[in-house]
């Protein structure tokens, strides 16, 4: 009886050891730690030992209590081994799970679940290697969302975050499965498109525009967005991850500046953007130190040649004594909210100067150019009222010049702010009329007092009959809407006579006076009083 009990315990022990040997063998092949191989060797050694003991038990006619105790110890030992292996396996699996979660987190973005910048870099490195051997092209497309900052500013970061998450999942659902989509950070996304050719990329950019345009329902806010992507192709535009990304970034920057649906990198861009980037980097300090200068260009009544007012035109003096014209830095400031600080500086400086001219008896008006981003904020009217008050000026002596494209960008908000300003008595002028949309609806909706016919129609008006016809009909349209019509860019006497005859109310241009600094303008006003 004792013999069979001892035999039974030892055989079960062997079965347990065999049971423990299997996972140990598996782990010892996957884990690098040598201890697992030692453990496996020990288990095999035990199994042999147990077998020997079974043979000993079988060979004796009767087993003793000592044999039974010995078998019990072997049985306990086998349970110990099974438990140790089981618990080690569970702990290993848990730590593997944690490690793979950590690895996932390190390569994915929390908010959208998309691959992050690090993952993108790894993916691109692999893609570059593969493409070098397979000789296949691929494309990298970068896009960042237009006006995302203003969504964050006006609706809050919570809405901004939800928008990013919804947008990411929409793109993921709809993009072809071979496209690798990553979030670079903020509102910037990257796409790596294999087998790319311009036809595929063009239709992709059209699709992306449509996906973004379809409104997102974020907490009851219906938001549709846009983005201007920049694209580079391997190997045409670069054969390394770093160069491809840098050039895609430049292409995207150009697309954004020109508000284009898609821009493909070309070598000319780099030099231009480098210069622009350097300029843009100097802008904040220039604003803080008020490095700008205002020039003033008069506007004259066509009938009696009296001065109506002056337009403030900004210049940025450079260390080499040159004056940087606004076309070279205002568009850079318009990319960010720096333009708001510039506009405020122009309003403050211009209105202070106007106050001085009024005090000196020149009861003229001031025209200030404003950008669309100035109308994104609700505090502009308050600021203007403050400045008018500080300089003891009536609201009617300020005219804000805005272009159609600036209004179209954020129509509802722009119309609201302009209506508010107009109610205060500030005049609104539509600048560069004829170059944008020339929309009749805008003429009707805007609280306009003035429309400025663009210089391009005036420049050769004496000889170009169609320009003459356009100017004539704009003057008729403006007059019948009760607006003052201004012709800008007048460069000779013939143009003055012709425009006066056509019924243009106000004239502006180098022939009347070039933009002048404060001193020169004060003298000019005195001389032409």
DSSP H helical ranges for 360-454: 380-390, 404-409, 411-424, 440-445
For residues 346 and 330, give the distance between their C-alpha atoms in angstroms, rounded to a whole number: 12
- Is position 471 an interface residue for ligand C2E (rule: CB under 6 A)? no
Contacts (Cβ under 8 Å, ≥6 apart) of 229: 141, 142, 143, 205, 208, 252, 255, 261, 262, 263
Near Mg ion in 432-451, by CB under 5 A: 432
Q: What six digits make up the tokens of 31?
A: 């884990």
Q: How far is CA 169 from the centre of its chain?
A: 18
Q: Which residues between 379 and 408 bind Mg ion (CB under 5 A)?
A: 401
Q: Which tokens is 499 given?
A: 């425009």
Scan residues 343-362 and list those touching ligand C2E (CB under 6 A).
Answer: 343, 346
Q: Is 369 in the site for ligand C2E (CB under 6 A)?
A: yes
Closest alpha carbon to 145 in 109, 173, 186: 186
Provide, rounded to whole angstroms, the least separation between the CB of residue 297 and Mg ion: 9
Compute the least distance from the CB of residue 313 to ligand C2E, in Å.
Answer: 4
According to DSSP, the residues that pair with 366 across neighbouring strands are 310, 398
Closest CB to ligand C2E among 230 and 434?
Answer: 434
Q: Toward ligand C2E, which CB reaches closer, 63 or 487?
A: 487
**Binding-site partner at residue 490 among Mg ion, ligand C2E, none, CB < 5 to 8 Å by type:** ligand C2E
Select 68 or 496, whichever has its Cβ closest to ligand C2E. Answer: 496
Shorter beta-carbon distance to ligand C2E: residue 245 or 375: 375
Kind and range of the H or E element at 180? strand 180-185
Separation of alpha carbons 175 and 190, rounded Å: 12
Does the footprint of Mg ion cover residue 147 (CB under 5 A)?
Answer: no
CB of 505 to ligand C2E, least distance (A): 17
* Cα distances (Å, whole numbers) of residue 226 to 147, 148, 266, 339, 401: 8, 9, 23, 21, 26
* Shorter beta-carbon distance to ligand C2E: residue 314 or 484: 314
CB of 456 to Mg ion, least distance (A): 10
- Minimum CB distance to ligand C2E smaller for 381 or for 508: 508
User: Residue 228 burial by CB count (10 A; 0-12/13-18/19+): exposed, middle or buried?
Assistant: buried
Binding mask 275-304 for ligand C2E (x = CB under 6 A): ----------------------x-------
Is the dihedral angle over the CA atoms 351, 353, 359, 363 positive or is it negative? negative
Piece in contact with ligand C2E (CB under 6 A), picked from 55-63, 219-227, 307-315, 413-421: 307-315
371 binds ligand C2E (CB under 6 A): yes
SS3 call for 429? strand
Residue 505 in contact with ligand C2E, rule: CB under 6 A: no
In angstroms, the CA 239 to CA 244 distance is 7
Which of residues 229 and 326 has its CB atom nearest to ligand C2E in the complex? 326
For the residues of 209-230, what is the DSSP string, one character each? HHHHHSPEEETTEEE---B--E
Residues in contact with ligand C2E by CB under 6 A are: 297, 312-314, 325-327, 330, 343, 346, 369-371, 401, 431-432, 455, 488-491, 509-510, 515
Residues in contact with Mg ion by CB under 5 A are: 369, 401, 431-432
């Amino acid at each position: 009886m004792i013999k069979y009990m001892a035999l039974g315990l030892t055989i079960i022990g062997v079965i347990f050891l065999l049971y423990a040997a299997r996972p140990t063998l598996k782990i010892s092949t996957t884990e690098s730690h040598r201890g697992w191989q030692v453990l496996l060797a020990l288990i095999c050694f035990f199994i042999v030992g147990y077998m020997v003991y079974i043979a000993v038990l079988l060979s004796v006619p009767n087993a003793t209590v000592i044999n039974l105790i010995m078998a019990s110890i072997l049985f306990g030992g086998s349970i110990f081994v099974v438990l140790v292996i089981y618990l080690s396996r569970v702990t290993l699996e848990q730590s593997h799970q944690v490690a793979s979660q950590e690895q996932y987190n390190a390569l994915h973005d929390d908010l959208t679940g998309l691959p992050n910048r690090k993952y993108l870099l790894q993916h691109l490195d692999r893609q570059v290697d593969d493409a070098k051997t397979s000789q296949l092209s691929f494309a990298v497309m970068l896009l960042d969302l237009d006006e995302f900052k203003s969504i964050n500013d006006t609706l809050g970061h919570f809405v901004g975050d939800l928008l990013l998450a919804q947008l990411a999942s929409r793109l993921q659902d709809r993009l072809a499965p071979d496209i690798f989509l990553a979030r670079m950070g903020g509102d910037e996304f990257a796409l790596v498109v294999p087998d790319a050719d311009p036809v595929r990329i063009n239709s992709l950019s059209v699709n992306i525009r449509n996906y973004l345009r379809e409104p997102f329902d974020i907490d009851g806010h219906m938001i549709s967005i846009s983005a201007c992507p920049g694209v580079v192709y391997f190997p045409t535009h670069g054969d390394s991850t770093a160069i491809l990304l840098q050039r895609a970034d430049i292409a995207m920057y150009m697309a954004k500046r020109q508000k284009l649906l898609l821009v493909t990198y070309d070598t000319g861009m780099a030099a231009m953007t480098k210069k622009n980037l350097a300029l843009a980097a100097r802008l904040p300090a220039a604003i803080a130190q008020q490095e700008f200068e205002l020039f003033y260009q008069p506007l004259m009544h066509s009938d009696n040649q009296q001065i109506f007012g002056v337009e403030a035109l900004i210049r940025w003096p450079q260390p080499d004594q040159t004056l940087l014209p606004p076309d070279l830095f205002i568009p850079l400031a318009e990319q960010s909210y720096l333009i708001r600080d510039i506009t405020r500086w122009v309003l403050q400086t211009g209105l202070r100067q106007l106050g001085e001219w009024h005090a000196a008896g020149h009861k003229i008006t001031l025209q200030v150019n404003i950008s669309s981003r100035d109308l994104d904020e609700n505090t502009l009217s308050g600021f203007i009222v403050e400045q008018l008050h500080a300089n003891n000026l009536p609201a009617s002596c300020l005219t804000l010049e805005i272009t159609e494209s600036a209004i179209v960008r954020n129509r509802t908000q722009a119309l609201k702010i302009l209506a508010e300003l107009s109610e205060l008595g500030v005049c609104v002028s539509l600048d560069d009329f004829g170059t944008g949309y020339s929309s009749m609806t805008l003429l009707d909706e805007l609280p306009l007092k003035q429309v400025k016919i663009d210089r391009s129609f005036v420049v050769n008006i004496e000889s170009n009959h169609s320009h003459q016809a356009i100017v004539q009909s704009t003057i008729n349209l403006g007059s019948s809407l009760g607006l003052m019509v201004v012709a800008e860019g007048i460069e000779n006497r013939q143009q003055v006579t012709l425009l006066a005859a056509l019924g243009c109310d106000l004239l502006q241009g180098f022939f009347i006076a070039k933009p002048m600094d404060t001193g020169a303008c004060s003298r000019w006003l005195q001389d032409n009083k």
